[in-house]
A = this chain, B = another copy of it.
Amino acid sequence: MRESETPEPRPYHHGDLRRALVEAACRLLEKEGAQSLSLRAVAREAGVSPAAPYHHFKDKSELLDAVAHEGWEKLDLAFQAARDAQISPPDRVRELGVAYVRFASQHPDLYRVMYDCSRDKADMPAHVHENEESAYRRVREVLISAGADPTDEISLELATIACWCAAHGLAEMTSFKQFEPLKDALGGEEAFLRGVLAHVGVFAKGL
C-alpha cells in the first residue's frame, strides 16, 4: 500500500508487509510443505514478530485465503497455453483438464491450500466460477462449440460440473503410488493424465 516512487524508501516500518507475508508463505509452502506452514513460521520467514501479521490479516485463515488467491492466479497462467492453442474444441477441453491436473501435481501443497480454503467456505473460488474469463465459463463455452445443446442450461451446467469434479479428483489422486506402474507403462505422468481424462465423458467427447 502507498508505495512511494523512490527505489526503497520504506514509507512505513516495513514497506509492504502484507505482500511480503504472502510471498514468505508461498516460499515456505514450496520449501517445507503445507504441514509446517504456521503463522509464526511465516512471520519468522518475513523477519517480523509473531503478532505483526495480525495488522494485515484477521487471522491465519485470511492469510491462507491470500495465498490461495495467489495460487489461482498462477493456475490461470498455467492455463494460457491450452487456452491459446489452435486445436479443436474437444481437444481444448482435455488440454485444460491436463493443465489443471499438472499444475496440482507440480504444486501439491499450494493446491492443497487453494482447495482447503474453498472447502472451508463451501465455495468455489471466485476466480474459477464468477467472472466472464473464468475457466468455468470457458469449459462451458467449449462444450457448446463441441456440440452441446446451448439451450439446455441444466445439462450444460451438469456437464461443466462433471468436468471440474473429474479434474479435481484426478488432481488429488494422481500422486497415489499405486498408479506408478501404470504411469510407467504409459510412458510418464502426462500420458497417464490424458489416458484417464479420455475415459471421462465430457473430456472425451465434448458432452
Residues of A in contact with B, size category: 35 or more
**Residues of chain B with a CB closer than 8 A to A170's CB:** 161-162, 165, 169
Among A122, A162, A164, residue most surrounded by chain B Cβ atoms (within 10 Å): A162
User: With A154-B186, A185-B154, A201-B204 in contact, do A166 and B173 touch (Cβ < 8 Å)?
Assistant: no
Whole-angstrom CA separation of A157 from B170 in the bound complex: 14
Chain copies in complex? 2
**Residues of chain B with a CB closer than 8 A to A204's CB:** 201
Nearest CB on B from A33, distance (A): 10
Contact of A199 among B162, B195, B196 (CB under 8 A): B162
Nearest CB on B from A134, distance (A): 12
The answer to whether B199 touches A199, judged by C-beta atoms less than 8 angstroms apart, is no
Interface residues in chain A, defined as those with a beta carbon under 8 Å from any beta carbon in chain B: 115, 118-119, 122-124, 129, 154-155, 157-159, 161-162, 164-170, 172-173, 175-179, 182, 185-186, 195-205, 207
- Known A-B contacts: A161-B173, A162-B197, A201-B205. Give 8 more (CB < 8 A): A122-B177, A154-B195, A157-B182, A158-B198, A162-B196, A165-B196, A166-B200, A168-B169
